[in-house]
A and B are shown apart, each in its own frame.
Chain A
């Protein structure tokens, strides 16, 4: 048996690592068990094409880096973590040669929008002015707070006409909201593009209309981690070790040990066989609810109705088909003649002429069909961080929303068709950036099946760990009875992206679980609240 810890954390994704660092600095003996050799979960940066070309395979940009409490509390800069914020956030090139560009700066964005519609530029500015402060002071802090009761939002807002209008907007889908606010298809598409990735919210998700003001608030600005996403994982790892915590890689947790109804440790597969590791105070799972309750906890230890409800937690509706490129030059868009700022956009929406492209792609995804490439997400990280490729060269990634299980052939069919589908995706990209085909030195495909193979926590290739729909956010994520990070088993907690505020690199689930653990375990609160 291994030495006992105060707290055992299952999974060394960024949430597990962040929680471990906080607890270790509070003086607890913390051990993190990770099945893979490499810690960090979706924070993977690897040389998968050519030597010297570092590709961010999953997480690439981090929207809340500037406000994530862990950055400041854990002094991550001291452990080598540094973020860059490109001033041009999103670019939308169109086949007719025009381009819409979303800047971090409001006025620059409105100027770009005005080239499509003066009315939309005014509407966008009004939306920003109406909601930016509300989002800065209430919505963003709420991401780093355990979810409040749903009635609190109503209590705060329902008495005023403005508040009731906002509550009404919340009940709509993002598509309905952009249709109400904007006349230009390009503007509508550019806003909706920012919801699927990284938020996992689709255009027609009822009850999530409030994400449109969130986009217009510019409160969440995409940042890239200098050196690649893995630098954040390594920084957290170093921070954990410096705080006295332990990380055991290639140690797969097979079972959560429960005695007298209480979580007391885990059974781990090590290089020498199964071993027990005891936790004196808590076991925290950073993996999803399905793995936690259906695989790691024996069925005899949970009521069947809870197991049934966990089985009903809906996973992400879409996965991502990725193509990673080593390039000798960056893509040059034809639309750069219309707006040169397009070249500097961190995220480029390729094959998104109008909202109907989004509808078409997801209609196919939902039917398990291969979508004709469109609404693709393209990025060239080396535009902002040249360290990720040899001098003068570039890396690029292309993400196409795609189904995990294909109607004909299931997920395994991806192994047969991946390369051919990559050709089609790249061809569509090249229609906007004609220099692309000759610029490619090497490429690597990462299909939805590849995602699941590499990261077991991304079940069915879903990168958000549970669908971000109205019934599975905030006080309902992943289930109402699990939404405060506690579980029905004393001593067992959740801290992963299946809890509020969901997927993406935010550290929010970990920080919120920390607050609950602090309350329950009477932990020394050394960080600023």
Chain B
């Protein structure tokens, strides 16, 4: 199992951070490998992820289920990724159905918010990734190599989104099957991108 833990602090009240991390569009825009997504219902999202290995994009489908929300302090989610044409419905705890045992990567996410002051909040993010089946070794190799850079990219995007206090405007979710990456890319609003860059620059200057 690969475990990752990050802690970030924001100069925002806990309620604002809580609202933004529960905004599926905001979070979708922050996930580096997510090419497209579909909101199934309030607790379930499906998507298409793509990881570059050299010049080759390796694509797989992903399903995530929100397991528990304890506003405004904690949210837990679980999901899985799968190489294949269609995602089978996850089990109640977000896990893959048993027939997918040969090619599954499972993950669990826990985000805890801790108020540091009325106007600042710390977010502790814990991620566990575990692969099963014949592709386990491959999943693990890719995750071990790629996670550090993906983690940094996620943090940058999250900071930009939260600092902007404006949710990025990805294309509207589709009601039907997950579109191909060319049809429904994730994108920021121009205002959001500009403000995000300003915030990043300020962060660097201020250390």
Q: Which of A's residues lie within 8 Å of B, judged by CB? A: 129-138, 140-142, 144-149, 151-152, 155-157, 159-160, 162-163, 166, 529
Tell me which residues across on chain B come within 8 A of A133, comparing CB atoms: 53-54, 145
Contact B58 A148 (CB under 8 A): no
For chain B, residues 60 to 110, give those with C-beta under 8 angstroms from any C-beta of chain A: 60, 83-85, 102-103
Contact B55 A162 (CB under 8 A): yes
Contact B54 A152 (CB under 8 A): no
Q: How many Å lie between the Cα of A339 and that of B83 in the bound state?
A: 47
Contact B55 A137 (CB under 8 A): no
B56 in contact (CB, < 8 A): yes
Tell me which residues across on chain B come within 8 A of A152, comparing CB atoms: 83-84, 103, 135
> What is the distance, in angstroms, from B160's C-beta to the closest C-beta of chain A?
27
Tell me which residues across on chain B come within 8 A of A145, comparing CB atoms: 134-138
Contact A163 B136 (CB under 8 A): no
* Top 5 closest pairs, chain A to chain B, by CB: A130-B55, A133-B54, A134-B53, A155-B83, A141-B137
> What is the distance, in angstroms, from B185's C-beta to the closest C-beta of chain A?
13
Q: Which residue of A131, A144, A147, A149 contacts B56 across the interface (Cβ within 8 Å)?
A: A131
Tell me which residues across on chain B come within 8 A of A135, comparing CB atoms: 54
Tell me which residues across on chain A come within 8 A of B54, comparing CB atoms: 129-135
Q: A156-B58, A162-B56 are in contact. Are A137 and B134 (CB under 8 A)?
A: no
Tell me which residues across on chain A come within 8 A of B84, comparing CB atoms: 151-152, 155
A-B contact count (CB 8 A): 89
Tell me which residues across on chain B come within 8 A of A149, comparing CB atoms: 102-103
Contact B102 A148 (CB under 8 A): yes
Known: A141-B137, A142-B138. 9 other contacts (CB 8 A): A134-B54, A138-B53, A138-B141, A145-B136, A149-B102, A152-B135, A159-B180, A160-B50, A162-B57
17 contacts between A and B (CB under 8 A): A129-B54, A131-B54, A131-B56, A133-B53, A133-B54, A134-B53, A141-B141, A145-B136, A145-B137, A145-B138, A147-B134, A148-B135, A155-B59, A156-B83, A159-B59, A163-B57, A163-B59
Residue of A nearest to B138 (CB): A141
Contact A137 B57 (CB under 8 A): no
B187 in contact (CB, < 8 A): no
Contact A137 B56 (CB under 8 A): no
Q: A147-B134, A148-B134 are in contact. Are A166 and B85 (CB under 8 A)?
A: no
Contact A155 B85 (CB under 8 A): yes
B142 in contact (CB, < 8 A): yes
> What is the distance, in angstroms, from B169's C-beta to the closest C-beta of chain A?
25
Residue of B nearest to A131 (CB): B54
B33 in contact (CB, < 8 A): no
Tell me which residues across on chain A come within 8 A of B120, comparing CB atoms: none
For chain B, residues 101 to 149, give those with C-beta under 8 angstroms from any C-beta of chain A: 102-103, 134-138, 140-142, 145-146
> What is the distance, in angstroms, from A292's C-beta to the closest C-beta of chain B?
23
Tell me which residues across on chain A come within 8 A of B181, comparing CB atoms: 159-160
Contact B103 A148 (CB under 8 A): yes
Q: How many Å lie between the Cα of A129 and that of B56 in the bound state?
A: 11
Tell me which residues across on chain A come within 8 A of B58, comparing CB atoms: 134, 138, 156-157, 163
> What is the distance, in angstroms, from B86's C-beta to the closest C-beta of chain A?
11
Q: How many Å lie between the Cα of A155 and that of B102 in the bound state?
A: 14
Query: Which of A145, A151, A162 gathers the greatest number of chain B CB atoms within 10 Å?
Result: A145
> What is the distance, in angstroms, from A510's C-beta to the closest C-beta of chain B?
15
Tell me which residues across on chain A come within 8 A of B56, comparing CB atoms: 130-131, 134, 157, 160, 162-163, 166
> What is the distance, in angstroms, from A118's C-beta to the closest C-beta of chain B?
22
Q: Which residue of B50, B85, B138 contacts A138 across the interface (Cβ within 8 Å)?
A: B138
Q: How many Å lie between the Cα of A442 and that of B83 in the bound state?
A: 57
> What is the distance, in angstroms, from B35's C-beta to the closest C-beta of chain A?
9
Contact B142 A138 (CB under 8 A): yes
Q: How many Å lie between the Cα of A160 and that of B51 in the bound state?
A: 12
For chain B, residues 173 to 192, give those with C-beta under 8 angstroms from any C-beta of chain A: 180-181
